[in-house]
Amino acid sequence: MQDGNALAARLDIGPGEDRISVSREKGLNRVLHILEFLHTTQRAVGIGDLAKGVNAPRSTTYTLVRELVDAGLLEMAGDGNRVYFGKKLYLYGMDYVRGNDLLRRGRQEVDNLSRETGETSELCMLQSGRYTIVHSSPGTRPFRISSATGLQIPLPWTASGRLLLAGFERAAIEDMVSEDDLVLPDGRRLRLDDFIADIATAKATGHCITSGLVDAYTKCLAAPVFSAPGKVEATMCLVVPIDTSEAKTGELIALLRGRAASLSIS
């Protein structure tokens, strides 16, 4: 039985009313953070670390994790006291795939494409304002250029990003692109206006090629998949060595555009 601390809550020090109010967070938000955190770590995490990682109180984290484990969204990882994603999430994910023609066919097409061309191929989409690699297939080069599925990269770094933003107003684009996003991995800084101009060009030509943006050795070729006339729902892209010949590049772009078009609706 708790003695003393009865009115402990008297922490709002000072007369000044500094409303420190360490904002209490909604359980659902905490859960969303937990999922996102696990997604970035890509490995099972101890509950204590998890609490630190999402900076939630330990007690809260324990309760939430227990509930999520009971629900099957998370699972205790075999070895000890770590948690990671659970079967339920896998099942829901498969439901999503099943209900989503585009994704289903897109995955297939990406696999075909990378088998046929030997290059790394990817299906990309906007995911709540962020560029996301939804599916990727490695290609057969000795030094393969790979990127993990689910990876999130700033829009301006990619060819696909330029196509995905084709339908948006300038204001919306500014919203989605932070200052940091405009700084390329090598430190160069992209001008927002240039980026927006790129988007317009991409929209007009119906494809996009970027060279040496994410890294110095690769070129990125992308073509749009439409869900309705003018609405870019996804892109397919090929990642090729930067010294790929003009001719070869043109050939690949043509192939890519064809495949992307075949996925488009109407």
- Tell me the HSE value of 212 on the side-chain side, using a 13 A CA sphere: 8
Q: Which of 47, 102, 151, 173 binds DNA (CB under 7 A)?
A: 47
Q: Which of 48, 93, 185, 258 binds a second copy (CB under 8 A)?
A: 93
Please report whether residue 38 would count as binding a second copy according to CB under 8 A. Answer: yes
Q: 190 φ, ψ to 5°?
A: -90, 140
Please report whether residue 23 would count as binding DNA according to CB under 7 A. Answer: yes
DSSP letters of 12-53? --TTTT------PPPHHHHHHHHHHHHHHH-S-EEHHHHHHH
Q: Which of 10, 19, 24, 26 binds a second copy (CB under 8 A)?
A: 26
Please report whether residue 62 would count as binding a second copy according to CB under 8 A. Answer: no
Closest to 177 in 3D by CA, of 159, 195, 163, 160: 195
Q: Which of 25, 37, 62, 84 binds a second copy (CB under 8 A)?
A: 84
Residue count at the site for a second copy (CB under 8 A)? 47
Residue closer to DNA, measured from CB, 26 or 189:
26
Dist CA 110 CA 179 (whole Å): 32
Please report, for residues 14, 132, 167, 176, 192, the alpha-carbon distance to residue 171 in angstroms, rounded to integers and kept in the order given. 43, 21, 12, 9, 12
Q: Which two tokens stand for residue 116?
A: 């046929």
Q: Which of residues 148-207 bind a second copy (CB under 8 A)?
A: 149-150
* Residues that bind a second copy in the complex, under the rule CB under 8 A: 2, 4, 26-29, 31-32, 35, 38-39, 42-44, 64, 67, 70-73, 77-78, 84-99, 103, 125, 127-128, 132, 134, 149-150, 227
